[in-house]
Amino acid sequence: AHEYGLSLATVTPLQTFVSCFIGAQDKQGGLHSDESTFAEFHYSCVAYLSSQGEDFEGGTFYWNDNKDGARVETAIAPTKGMANIFSSGWENMHEVQPLISGTRFAVPTFFTTNPKEVVKDIASNGPVGSEAVAEALWKCLLTVEEVSDFRRFMMNWHGLLAPGR
């Protein structure tokens, strides 16, 4: 939020997961923008838990830009502890080179800047106080029944990190 000049209350985590690729891969995602996958993805972050050249070979992250009508690729070699943070729209087309060998761990996280409906639902029907929010998080993790449960989990997690949203 700080990097893009946004209020923390307007940026909400929407989805995150651990990505693990092991051994040689034929394909890995292809050229895309994250917002084209889900319109609610406004900002993206990929945090790396392993390093290229040390833990795996291949798996390079490529930005794809258009300069004077020609496609230009800019390579980023993932390094453990590095985070790649960017807006999720067509302005940041990217792809990941297939893995050649080893194990590549990353944590992609996607954020929205339109959490109003979800925030309203959590505020009116959700837990109050840090202990209640933590209990709700635990319950969501153990008893996920539908997609809205995951969204509720993310909003409750955000509530612990950004109280008073």
Location of structure tokens 């995951």: 150
The answer to whether 104 is a known catalytic residue is: yes
Integer Cα distance of 42 and 87 in angstroms = 6
Integer Cα distance of 78 and 81 in angstroms = 9
Buried-exposed string 67-98: b where 16+ CB fall within 10 A, e elsewhere: eeeeeeeeebebeeeeebebbbeeebbbbbbe
In this structure, what token pair is assigned to residue 45? Answer: 């972050």
Q: What angle do CA 24, 43, 80 make, to 5 degrees?
A: 40
What is residue 125's three-state secondary structure?
helix
Active-site residue, from 71, 104, 152, 165: 104
Active site residues: 104
